[in-house]
Amino acid sequence: MNGAAVTEPATTPDLIAAHGLSEAEYRRAQEVLGRDPNLTELGIFSVMWSEHCSYKSSKKWLKTLPTEAPWVICGPGENAGVIDIGDGQAAVFKMESHNHPSFIEPYQGAATGVGGILRDVFTMGARPVANLSCLRFGHPDHPRTRHLVAGVVAGIGGYGNCVGVPTVGGECTFHESYNGNILVNAMTVGLADADRIFYSTAAGAGNPLVYVGSKTGRDGIHGATMASAEFDETAEERRPTVQVGDPFTEKLLLEACLELMATDAIVAIQDMGAAGLTSSSFEMAGKGGMGVELDLDHVPQRETGMSPYEIMLSESQERMLMVLQRGREDEARRIFEKWELDFAVVGKLTDTGRMVVRMNGEVAADLPIAPLANASPEYDRPWATTAPPEQIPADSMNAPETKDFEGVMDVLQRLLASPDLASKRWVWDQYDHLVMGRTVQRPGGDAAVVRVPGSRKALALSADCTPRYCAAFPRTGGAQAVAESWRNLTAAGARPLAITDCMNFGSPERPEIMGQFVECIEGMRKACLALDFPVVSGNVSFYNETNGAAIQPTPAIGAVGVIDDIESMATIALKGDGNALVLIGECRGHLGASLYLREIAGRSDGAPPPVDLEAERRNGDFVRLQIFDGRVVSCHDVSDGGLLVAAAEMALASATPTGNMLGALLHLEDDLPLHALAFGEDQGRYVLEVDQSEVDALMAAADAVGVPVRRIGRCGGTALTVNGEQTISLFVLRRDHEGWLPSYMAG
Amino acid sequence: MRAAVVTFPGSNRDVDVIDALIAVSGQRPGIVWHRDVELPDVDLIVLPGGFSYGDYLRSGAMAARSPILREVSARAEAGVAVLGICNGFQILTEVGLLPGVLMANRNLKFVCRDIHLKVERADTPFTGRYEAGQVIRVPVAHHDGNYFSDADTLARIESEGRVAFRYCTPEGHVEDEINPNGSINGIAGVYNEARNVLGLMPHPEDHVDGAQGCSDGRPMFESLIEHLA
Distance CA B121, CA B186 (A): 15
Domain containing residue B95:
3-228
CA A171 to each of CA A167, A180, A443: distance values in angstroms, whole numbers, following the listed order: 12, 19, 10
Q: What is the pLDDT of residue A57?
A: 92
Do B81 and B51 touch, CB atoms closer than 8 A? no
B83 Cα to chain A: minimum distance (Å): 18
Nearest CB to A164; choose among B50, B53, B143: B50
Torsion-angle region of residue A206: left (phi > 0), alpha (psi -120 to 50) or beta? left
Q: What is the pLDDT of residue A393?
A: 84
Q: What is the pLDDT of residue B189?
A: 98
- Asked if residue B34 has pLDDT above 60, the reply is yes
* CATH code of the domain covering residue B194: 3.40.50.880
Distance CA A672, CA A612 (A): 20
Phi, psi of A207, deg, nearest 5 = -65, 140
Q: What is the pLDDT of residue B6?
A: 97
Instruction: Say how many domains are in chain B.
Output: 1
- Closest-CA residue of B relative to A567 is B211
Q: What residue spans of chain B are helical by DSSP H?
A: 14-25, 67-77, 87-95, 151-159, 218-228
Mean pLDDT estimate for chain B: 96
- A563: helix, strand or coil: strand
Distance CA A704, CA A99 (A): 48
The DSSP output letter for B209 is B
Q: What is the pLDDT of residue B55?
A: 87
| Whether B116 and A657 lie within 8 Å, measured CB to CB | yes
| Whether B54 and A247 lie within 8 Å, measured CB to CB | yes
B194 Cα to chain A: minimum distance (Å): 31
| Whether B170 and A659 lie within 8 Å, measured CB to CB | yes
| Whether B139 and A434 lie within 8 Å, measured CB to CB | yes
Kindly report which listed range (A6-20, A694-708, B61-75, B212-226) carries the lowest average pLDDT score: A6-20
- A361: helix, strand or coil: coil
Torsion-angle region of residue A606: left (phi > 0), alpha (psi -120 to 50) or beta? left
ipTM of this predicted complex?
A: 0.97
Q: Is residue B54 less than 8 Å (CB to CB) from chain A? A: yes
| Whether A430 and B19 lie within 8 Å, measured CB to CB | no
| Whether B55 and A162 lie within 8 Å, measured CB to CB | yes
Q: What is the pLDDT of residue A13?
A: 87
Do A447 and A169 touch, CB atoms closer than 8 A? yes
Q: What is the pLDDT of residue A1?
A: 38
CA A192 to each of CA A73, A262, A468, A721: distance values in angstroms, whole numbers, following the listed order: 12, 11, 37, 48
Q: What is the pLDDT of residue A226?
A: 58
**Series of mean pLDDT values for 10-residue runs along chain A (747 residues):** 52 87 92 93 92 90 97 96 97 97 95 96 98 98 97 97 97 97 98 96 96 90 64 62 86 97 96 90 94 97 92 93 97 96 97 96 95 86 96 77 75 97 97 97 95 95 98 98 98 98 97 98 98 97 92 98 96 98 97 95 94 98 98 98 98 95 95 93 98 98 98 98 95 98 96
Q: What is the CA radius of gyration of chain A?
A: 26
**For residue A209, what are the β-bridge partners?**
A323, A347
Nearest-10 crossing angle of helices A247-261, A145-163: 40
Q: What is the pLDDT of residue A6?
A: 46
Active-site position among B120, B142, B168, B205: B205
Torsion-angle region of residue B26: left (phi > 0), alpha (psi -120 to 50) or beta? left
Query: Comparing C-alpha atoms, which of A268, A289, A282, A315 is closest to residue A124?
Result: A268
A439 Cα to chain B: minimum distance (Å): 6
Distance CA A45, CA A592 (A): 46
Q: Is residue B96 less than 8 Å (CB to CB) from chain A? A: no
| Whether A430 and B110 lie within 8 Å, measured CB to CB | yes
Q: What is the pLDDT of residue A400?
A: 62
In B94-191 the beta strands, taken as DSSP E runs, fall at 101-103, 111-119, 135-142, 146-148, 163-168, 187-191
Pairing relation of β-strands A81-86 and A89-97? antiparallel
**For residue A173, what are the β-bridge partners?**
A136
For CA atoms A272, A277, A279, A285, the dihedral sign is positive
Do A546 and A232 touch, CB atoms closer than 8 A? yes
Q: Which of B5, B7, B11, B12 to mutate to test the interface with A (most CBs of A within 10 A)?
A: B12
- Closest-CA residue of A relative to B33 is A338
Q: How many cross-chain Cβ pairs, A to B, lie less than 8 Å apart?
A: 92
